[in-house]
A and B are shown apart, each in its own frame.
Chain A
Amino acid sequence: MQVADKAVGYETDADLVVRARGGDFSAYEVLFERHRALVYRFVYQMCRKQDDSEDLTQEVFVRALRNLDRYRDQAKFTTWLLRIASNLVADRARSQNRRSVLEIEQASDGLAWMTRSKATDPVENLEHERLQEAVERALAQLKPQQREIIVMRDVQELPYQDIADVLGCTVGGAKLRALRARKALRDLTLALMGGEIKL
């Protein structure tokens, strides 16, 4: 494990991929350690259930290992991972469409303690909590394609070029999608907040 930790800092993704292609599983373990959180955060924000998110994250890395020969070095390894994750999340959303609303509501309730505001004023603190909950719910109610781009751009703060690579579109197309998704998010949030954000 010490060797792997050392490799995290010294080897690039491309070098690790070459080693992993050659059958060196320890190199792939380094890649897993390096990008596990990124993939997990994206998957969790998309499906909002911890157990399922961990399963999906694991599936993403298993599939990536199986298809490592198909990976082209022109794209970032993280972009490729996120594309696999996006496809898996979309497949899961299609298969579990009926249960998704209930799961999202449960997830929003369970996440409330983590998104508590640090404001000292109790009223402001309450308003922050309301807004946070409304944004979480609005994010969950967005279409999967809109939620996906909001998560990548505004939650994970990925550059537009990476988002365009994941989505398979141009940078302009990614910006346009982000614009529409943000507008939908704002409308939903305002509707949940009663038409006004008192902050």
Chain B
Amino acid sequence: MKEFREINDHVFEGEPLSPGISPRETRHAEAIRAALRSVKTPECRLQVEHLRNAVLDTSSRRPARPVKWGWLGSGLGIAVAASMLAVLQPKADVEAPVLGQAGQPGIVALQTEPAEGQAVPKVKAEVSEPPAAAKATNVAPEPMRRPRSRIRVRPKSESKPPLNEATLLARQEPQAKRDAPAQKAETPAEAAVAPAAGSTASEQVVVVVQPGTDHGKAIEVGLGQDVLFGG
């Protein structure tokens, strides 16, 4: 390769060769070079008149260039493709949905309404409608399960650990102390302490009339709280 490169650079360019190139390679390159130089070309018969006629001819033929046929063909293809898409497009996309509303979460309504005279049956698809409400049967519906994501409310007592016997005994003693002032409180205002019908203990409002005053003083007392009187 290196030898032939050197031959290229010198023989083909008409420069003297450096020593070391084989005579055979040199002879081949020189012979090919000479043959290329002696390549003949037949005489050109083209005249100015031909050019003039060609220019006039092409300028008169210019509207019928094949490029415009190409554009026409591509435009026709696009039109055919668009019409095919319009035919193949499902009508549900065009017509307004009957059941449910588009965009409403959990509701998918699909209806295909045939045109007049067509024998295509009406197709409806509904999703997420309550199953029990759709059927009017005598069988009682299964109880609906709450969604798991909903927060489960449970009483505080469940969260506490079970009490052992010693703890229960320890709690009974303060409870007995608590009962005594409560009984003591019944004396000045018995009616106010009585719970209202339908109300729970936690919502009780105990109205205590302090002795020695003309008007009562309302005190909100929670469940289990002691009501004590001073004096």
In whole angstroms, how far apart are the Cα atoms of A29 and B8 in the complex?
A: 39
Decide: A136 near B12, CB < 8 A? Known: A32-B48, A36-B44: no
Decide: A131 near B51, CB < 8 A? Known: A114-B42, A179-B5, A186-B4: no
Cβ–Cβ contact A50 & B42, under 8 A: yes
Interface mask (B25-60 → A, CB under 8 Å = 1, otherwise 0): 001110111011111111011101011101100100
Cβ–Cβ contact B36 & A190, under 8 A: no
List the one stretch of A39-47, A76-84, A89-97 in contact with chain B: A39-47
Which residues of chain B have C-beta atoms less than 8 A from A199's C-beta?
A: 27, 31
In whole angstroms, how far apart are the Cα atoms of A25 and B54 in the complex?
A: 13
Q: Name B62's closest neighbour in chain A (CB-CB).
A: A66
Cβ–Cβ contact B48 & A29, under 8 A: yes
Q: Which of A53, A65, A155, A179 contacts B39 (CB 8 A)?
A: A155
A111 shortest CB reach to chain B, Å? 7
Which residues of chain A have C-beta atoms less than 8 A from B37's C-beta?
A: 154-155
Which residues of chain B have C-beta atoms less than 8 A from A33's C-beta?
A: 48
Cβ–Cβ contact B8 & A154, under 8 A: no
In whole angstroms, how far apart are the Cα atoms of A26 and B208 in the complex?
A: 127
A161 at interface, CB cutoff 8 A: no
Which residues of chain B have C-beta atoms less than 8 A from A53's C-beta?
A: 44
Main secondary structure of the interface of A (DSSP, over half): helix
Which residues of chain A have C-beta atoms less than 8 A from B28's C-beta?
A: 186, 190, 197
Q: Name A110's closest neighbour in chain B (CB-CB).
A: B42
Cβ–Cβ contact B12 & A182, under 8 A: yes
A163 at interface, CB cutoff 8 A: no
In whole angstroms, how far apart are the Cα atoms of A40 and B29 in the complex?
A: 27
Cβ–Cβ contact B55 & A135, under 8 A: no
In whole angstroms, how far apart are the Cα atoms of A154 and B28 in the complex?
A: 15
A156 shortest CB reach to chain B, Å? 10
In whole angstroms, how far apart are the Cα atoms of A131 and B36 in the complex?
A: 10
Interface mask (A39-78 → B, CB under 8 Å = 1, otherwise 0): 0110011000010011001110110011000000000000
A163 shortest CB reach to chain B, Å? 13
A-B pairs with lowest CB-CB distance, top 6: A135-B35, A40-B44, A114-B40, A154-B36, A41-B41, A199-B31
Q: Given known contacts A29-B51, A199-B31, what 4 new A-B pairs fall within 8 Å (CB)?
A: A45-B39, A61-B54, A115-B40, A131-B35
